[in-house]
Amino acid sequence: MDIGAVLAKYRDKPGGLIEAYHAIQKELNYIPREAVLEAARVFGVSEAQAYGVATFYSYLSVEKRGKYIIRMCESAPCHVAGADEVLKALEDTLGIKVGQTTPDGKFTLELTECVGQCQETPVITINSVPYPNMSPDKIASVLAQCT
């Protein structure tokens, strides 16, 4: 991926820095340090400002992440519906804790706020695709779809 070309594409657009970060993350699943440094140069901001934008939004990440990013909704409706049990099943099945990536680089487990599926709680998302009405016994079959 040509990070410089991606950044240049968004340089003159309002909100371009965030859009550029989204484009980079879409390809790499995270924003590497060199992209933040280059973004500061291209957008004419300090490195601290470029880093601040990359780390302010929970959807963006400057940490290397897995091919599949699993997010467990931790909103009140999901919590009441059993999110804790689903999260424990995810951790046990994947062998990682929240904020970690599996050793093979396949899965990263994160928490998120409401994903707008409160009618079908608890909900996880995998690469932004919602999986509603989750339960611990559904985890293995959902993960098996990630090839």
DSSP class of residue 101 equals B
Would residue 63 count as lying in a domain?
A: no
Residue 115 has pLDDT above 90, yes or no: no
Rounded Cα–Cα distance for residues 70 and 127 (Å)? 7
CB atoms within 10 A of CB 2: 8
Average of per-residue pLDDT across 36-57: 96
115 vs 122, higher pLDDT: 122
Same domain, yes or no: 79 and 110: yes
Residue 137 has pLDDT above 90, yes or no: yes
Rounded Cα–Cα distance for residues 118 and 78 (Å)? 7
Query: Which residues are CB-neighbours of 141 under 8 A, at least 6 positions away?
Result: none
What residues make up the domain containing 39? Answer: 3-56
Predicted confidence at residue 44, as pLDDT, reads 95
pLDDT digit string, tens, across residues 83-107: 999 999 999 999 999 999 999 999 9
pLDDT, the chain, mean: 94
Predicted confidence at residue 11, as pLDDT, reads 94
Same domain, yes or no: 80 and 139: yes
Same domain, yes or no: 40 and 19: yes
The answer to whether 53 and 18 have CB atoms below 8 angstroms apart is yes
| CATH code for the domain of 104 | 3.40.30.10
Same domain, yes or no: 52 and 87: no
Predicted confidence at residue 16, as pLDDT, reads 95
Same domain, yes or no: 76 and 41: no
pLDDT digit string, tens, across residues 50-72: 999 999 987 899 999 999 999 99
Residue 36 has pLDDT above 90, yes or no: yes
Would residue 23 count as lying in a domain?
A: yes
pTM: 0.81
Query: Which residues are CB-neighbours of 70 under 8 A, at least 6 positions away?
Result: 90, 94, 107, 108, 109, 110, 124, 125, 126
Predicted confidence at residue 58, as pLDDT, reads 78
Same domain, yes or no: 48 and 83: no
- Structural domains in the chain (count): 2
Same domain, yes or no: 79 and 102: yes
Domain boundary among 34, 56, 78: 56
